[in-house]
Amino acid sequence: MNKTRLEAFSDGVLAIIITIMVLELKVPEGEHFSDLLTLFPVFISYVLSFIYVGIYWNNHHHLLHSATRVNGRILWANLHLLFWLSLIPASTAWMGEHDFAKATVTVYGIVLFMSAIAFVILQTTIICLDGEKSFLAEAVGKDMKGKFSQGLYLSAIVISFFNQWISLIIYLIVALMWLVPDTRIEKRILNSEKK
Amino acid sequence: MNKTRLEAFSDGVLAIIITIMVLELKVPEGEHFSDLLTLFPVFISYVLSFIYVGIYWNNHHHLLHSATRVNGRILWANLHLLFWLSLIPASTAWMGEHDFAKATVTVYGIVLFMSAIAFVILQTTIICLDGEKSFLAEAVGKDMKGKFSQGLYLSAIVISFFNQWISLIIYLIVALMWLVPDTRIEKRILNSEKK
Amino acid sequence: MNKTRLEAFSDGVLAIIITIMVLELKVPEGEHFSDLLTLFPVFISYVLSFIYVGIYWNNHHHLLHSATRVNGRILWANLHLLFWLSLIPASTAWMGEHDFAKATVTVYGIVLFMSAIAFVILQTTIICLDGEKSFLAEAVGKDMKGKFSQGLYLSAIVISFFNQWISLIIYLIVALMWLVPDTRIEKRILNSEKK
Amino acid sequence: MNKTRLEAFSDGVLAIIITIMVLELKVPEGEHFSDLLTLFPVFISYVLSFIYVGIYWNNHHHLLHSATRVNGRILWANLHLLFWLSLIPASTAWMGEHDFAKATVTVYGIVLFMSAIAFVILQTTIICLDGEKSFLAEAVGKDMKGKFSQGLYLSAIVISFFNQWISLIIYLIVALMWLVPDTRIEKRILNSEKK
């Protein structure tokens, strides 16, 4: 089975997700610079979510690059990931339009957490097919970085009931942690090319 | 003629269909968890339709993978399928926003039924070009699974005049039936690779 | 220069154009079958425009398939075509929401006419690069079918000032004329493969 | 690492950006030609932004065509460019809906300026990986055209505080300057093919 079409479809969905978020940047009613200020929380949410979708696209790119084959399970694990990512625009908008109210930050965190879990499921499904001694299995290893992020998301979700600003800082920290594409895979590729 | 572009265009349309449905998840006006409850029927409709479009993408992927050539008729049979699938977002939204009112469930079923018919037409058109002894023709066989689904859709459409909840359960059953990608084709591919 | 990316970008834009038209199928406020009736003109416009964009995708597919090279001029001639096609959703919506009022049918015709002209410009630009004795040049010949369509569009635009229904029938006739993909090119391909 | 997927994703995002701008062409409420007049500033903004996104797609096409490899830095430099380009639809709409009010023209200029800077960053990142003696490095040279455009954008931003119409003319001049795809790269390709 062909992984090119899987990549093409995922690219399409991710491109749309990253772009429809901008539809929430509703044109301010006034025509002065001051009218832009009301857009500020929406804009900040947009930047954060843009970075998150960018990270997922980047890591998805690396993940599928290292997969050798694709089967029906992988197609569905991939759709499952896209499902949770598709909720990012709506949860971003809810957060931005209510100036980061507590519940909106909690829901945003839940969507991020579920996306992270869905990514792990996809990763595991690919490793299952390729075998424990495959390139990807060795590159991912015990996936400490993934588990650490999931822990941070969970903490941020709990903390958001008390202070949503700390949660937002945690979301930002996780984003920065992943801004660099998954160098474990990148290094492995370079190493294997040297050999 | 090149089937790559046909796949690319279909992927684009399917990616957009699956993603614009999320635009119907309109941001709740309030900022509390309880405000999310009003979104519940819209969310359930979204999940169901996401699965349906995912199934169609999956089966479309398998169908075109096994096609050897593409002609003008196939291009139009494909556009015809995309037409009915493009009505899924609007019918999903209508159903979700009116809490699964009877008429909305009927119309949703009609769209699903017509999509299924359009898929069969595309399948038949491809078999026509490739010949009755082609790989796809043998893999599909008498297409009992397809005919059974169409029967279920028809029953669900009729039943929705009396009790829409039973119809919804039928839609869910058909979805689960197809969640596994068309293993008839997948098995054939494996078999033919072994030989 | 690579024509794959030109095709991919065009596919993307055409896929979005064909799909965002469905956003105009606004969910009816009521929940009964009778509420769907108000959508009828919008739906008919959608079907007509879906067919038109499908025709353009189809013919674009054939046109670029027969092009051997791509240069800067072709990129811009292609963008020019996409520009006019991108106006189809808005003009379709205007026509549908005002029950085919005269001015809306005129404007719709102008958009169709300009798209046809833009297609001819793209075709000519490709022939210019490939030479008068190229495959495409011979396949297109004097392009009687193209010129006839342009004449029909112009008549329909004029007629729409008096009776928009006749214009709509003309638009439909042109669409049916083109529903079959450009067999001139398809036949040529078959012929050249035989030799 | 594969540059095909980077191109595919960028094509997707650019295709969506160029197409969702058309969503701002809101259907006029009346049904007469005169009702179209109110759309005039929105339409002009749309044309200008369509040309700009077209230019970026064109130049992006040339830029990546001449890149030999892709790494994590390039992925992010590319996403950074797409981020600024994704703000074009919203700033276009703000400008169009307020009849080119001063602040809207300033903001539009800032988005154009930041996009230009992001393009230079992407270009520099690619040159960094390919080396100072690479094909692209020699083709770009001192990038006088790029620097000149940035200077024009900056002037237009300052001038917009006093007279926005002059700024708009400057935006138009820069667009015309770039309408021709980056012939420096195109010529180089032709030259290198001759050798």
- Determine what percent of chain C is predicted with pLDDT higher than 70: 91
Instruction: Please give the pLDDT value at position A92.
Output: 92
Lowest mean pLDDT among C26-35, C95-104, D70-79: C26-35
User: From CA A44, how far away is CA A36, in angstroms rounded?
Assistant: 12
Contact D93 A183 (CB under 8 A): no
pLDDT score for B191:
64
Nearest residue of C to residue D15, measured between CA atoms: C13
* Chain A residue at shortest CA distance from B183: A72
How confident is the model at residue D104, as a pLDDT? 92
Determine the distance in angstroms separating the CA of C46 from the nearest CA of chain B, rounded to an integer: 10
Query: Is there a contact between A104 and A91 (Cβ–Cβ < 8 Å)?
Result: yes
pLDDT at B159: 93
In contact, B19 and A16? CB cutoff 8 Å: yes
Chain A residues in contact with B35 by the CB 8 A cut-off are: 103
- Which pLDDT belongs to residue B1? 54
Would the CB atoms of C180 and B103 count as touching at under 8 Å? no
CA nearest B116: which of B155, B50, B174?
Answer: B174
Which segments in chain B show pLDDT lower than 50? none
Rounded Cα gap, residues C136 and C127, in angstroms: 7
CB contact under 8 A, D31 and C87: no
| Secondary structure letter of residue C23 according to DSSP | G
Q: Between the CA atoms of A152, A157, A161 and A166, what dihedral angle is there, to the nearest 10 degrees?
A: 40
C-beta separation of B188 from B139 below 8 A: yes
Of A16, A90, A93, the CB nearest to B15: A16
Question: What are the tens digits of pLDDT across the range C32-58?
Answer: 888 888 888 888 889 999 999 998 988
Please, what sign has the CA dihedral across residues A150, A151, A156, A159? Answer: positive
**Is residue A123 a contact partner of residue A140, using CB atoms and an 8 Å limit?**
yes
Low-confidence residues in chain A, pLDDT < 70: 1, 180-195
Rounded to the nearest integer, the mean pLDDT of chain C is 85
Please name the member of D14, D31, D61 whose beta carbon is closest to the beta carbon of C98.
D31
Give the residue extent of every domain in chain B.
Answer: 4-194
Please answer yes or no on whether B9 and C14 come within 8 Å at the CB atom: yes
**Over 80: is that where the pLDDT of C133 sits?**
no
Is C75's CB within 8 Å of D58's CB?
A: yes
Q: How far apart are CA A76 and CA A93, in angstroms?
A: 27
Taking an 8 Å cut-off on Cβ atoms, the answer to whether B27 and A101 are in contact is no
Is ipTM strictly over 0.95?
Answer: no
Name the closest residue on chain B to residue C26, using Cα atoms: B90
CA distance D75 to D54: 21
Give helix B3-20 / helix A3-20 axis angle, nearest 10°: 40
Please name the residues in contact with A133: beta carbons below 8 A apart, sequence gap of 6 or more.
none
What's the pLDDT at C137? 75
Asked if residue A81 lies in contact with residue A118, where contact means CB atoms within 8 angstroms, the answer is yes
- Cβ neighbours of residue B134 closer than 8 Å, sequence gap 6 or more: B68, B127
Choose the closest CB to C79 out of D28, D32, D54: D54
**Does residue C95 come out as left (phi exceeding 0), alpha (psi in the -120 to 50 range) or beta?**
alpha
- Say whether B90 and C22 touch across the interface (CB within 8 A): yes
User: Which chains lie within 8 Å of chain B at 3 or more CB pairs, if any?
Assistant: A, C
Burial zone of B99 (CB within 10 Å; 0-12 exposed, 13-18 middle, 19+ buried): middle
Instruction: Give the mutation candidate from A3, A9, A97 for the B interface (greatest B CB count, under 10 A).
Output: A9
Q: Which residues of chain D have pLDDT under 70?
A: 1, 180-195
